[in-house]
Amino acid sequence: MVNTDILVVGAGISGITAARILAEKGKKVLLIEKKSVIGGACRDEFSEEGINIHLYGPHIFRTSNKFVFDFVSRFAKFSNYQHRVTSYVLGNYCEFPINLNTLNKLFNKHTVGNVLDKLRNFSTEGENFEEILKNKIGDDLYSLFYKNYSIKQWLTEPFNLIPQTAAIIPIRESIDGRYFSDTYQGIPEKGYFYMLNQMLAHNNIKVLLNTDYKEIRNHVSYNWLVFTGRLDDFFDKSEGELEYHSVRFELEKTYGTTLPSAVVNYPNDYDYIRRTDYNYFMESDFKVHIIGTEYSLKEGEPLYAVPDFKNQIIKERYDKLVSELPENIKLIGRLATYKNLSMGQCVYEAIKICEGVQ
C-alpha cells in the first residue's frame, strides 16, 4: 500500500494546479496520469522551425481575475497576445464575435442601424440553444454564423443543445474585434508544456505516468483525493455513459500563404469546423506557416462535454452523487465537472477547492 497526503488523478492544467497549491501547503502529493506525457488538452510542442503548435486546438489563457493570472505568471512569461477570430460568411471574412465591423461588412449603413435596433429589442428567452439565439440575434444572423457551425461542432441539431450554451454568446455594439474581452490574455512564450513542468517542479510532488486510477485506486492510501478524469468513469458509469466530443487535426505547412486571422471559422462551407494559423501566436518572421484544420469527432480522446439535453439529464444524476461524496474527495476540471471550462476557470476552480484542504 502506497501512502500519500494527496492523490491527484490527471495531469492536465486542473490537476497540476491543484498539485502545486497543495505541495506549497506542505502536503505530499502523488499525481498520476494514464498517458505517457503531462498536459492534457493543453499539450503543445514546437515544430522544427520553432513554431508553437497547440495539439488540441488554439489555447489562449484568459481571465479577469488578477490572482489567477499572477499565479500562472509565476511559472511562465506570457506574451501580450490578443486573440482574433474571423468567420467565413457569404464569401467574406467577418470579425467574430459579431460586432459593428461585422455588420458593416454584411449590410449597408442604413440596414446596420435597423439590425442594431432589432438586437436591442430581441428577447433572450427560449427553451434551447436555437430558440435563444434566434430570439437574441434574429434568424438571419443565426443562420449565417451559428446554425451550421453548431451542427458541425456538436454533430447534432442546435435545438438539442441546452439553453445555457447560448447565454454566453456576445453581440458587440462596438468595433472591438478581439475574440475575448478578459482583462488578462496571453500565451506562455515557452509554451504550456514548459509552464506545466515548472508548476510540477516541487519536492513535495511525485508524478507517475502511464498509471491508470482504476488499476491503483485500491493500492493507495490518501487523506484527500482530487480527481480530474471523466465524471462517469469515477462512478464506474453507474448512472449511464456521458458523451465527450473529440477533435481531429490535420497539420500542413505552407509558404507565403496564411489566414486573415489566427482562427477562421467555417460555419457554412467545407466539412471542417475551423482552421488555425499557429504563427499568429508568437512574434516571428517564419517563412513557413503551420495551419491546423479541425474536424469534430464523436469518438476519440474526450475533450469537450456535449451540452445537449440527453447528456444533461445524465450529468444531473451524477451531480447528485458528487454532492454525497465525503469532504475529502473533490472532482474538478472539464472532464470531471462535465463543463467546458476555460483554462483560467480551471485554475480558479482548483485554487478555490484547495483552499479548504487542511
Q: Do 35 and 160 have their domain in common?
A: no
Give tens-digit pLDDT for 243-283: 999 999 999 999 977 899 999 999 999 999 999 999 999 88
Q: Do 38 and 100 have their domain in common?
A: no
Give tens-digit pLDDT for 115-172: 777 777 677 788 999 999 888 888 889 999 999 999 999 999 999 999 988 877 778 8
Rounded to whole angstroms, the Cα distance separating 17 from 12 reads: 8
Q: Do 10 and 47 have their domain in common?
A: yes
Q: Do 102 and 151 have their domain in common?
A: yes
Look at residues 165, 186, 160 and name the one whose alpha carbon lies nearest to residue 77.
186
- Asked if residue 322 belongs to a domain, the reply is yes
- Asked if residue 138 belongs to a domain, the reply is yes
Number of domains in the chain: 2
pLDDT at 199: 98
How is the chain split among helix, strand and coil, in percent rounded to 5? Answer: 35, 25, 40
Look at residues 233, 185, 237, 180 and name the one whose alpha carbon lies nearest to residue 73.
185
Mean pLDDT of 292-312: 95
Look at residues 88, 247, 81, 92 and name the one whose alpha carbon lies nearest to residue 179.
81
Give tens-digit pLDDT for 62-100: 999 999 999 999 999 999 999 999 999 999 999 999 988
**143 SS3 class:** helix
Q: What is the pTM of this model?
A: 0.94
Q: Which domain covers residue 101, as residue numbers? A: 85-167
Q: The domain spanning residue 188 has which CATH number? A: 3.40.50.720
Contact (CB, 8 A) for 53 and 45: yes
Q: Do 26 and 90 have their domain in common?
A: no
- Asked if residue 286 belongs to a domain, the reply is no
Contact (CB, 8 A) for 202 and 30: no
Contact (CB, 8 A) for 193 and 54: no
Query: What is the chain's Cα-based Rg?
Result: 21
Average pLDDT score over the chain: 93
Rounded to whole angstroms, the Cα distance separating 170 from 167 reads: 8
Q: Do 99 and 142 have their domain in common?
A: yes
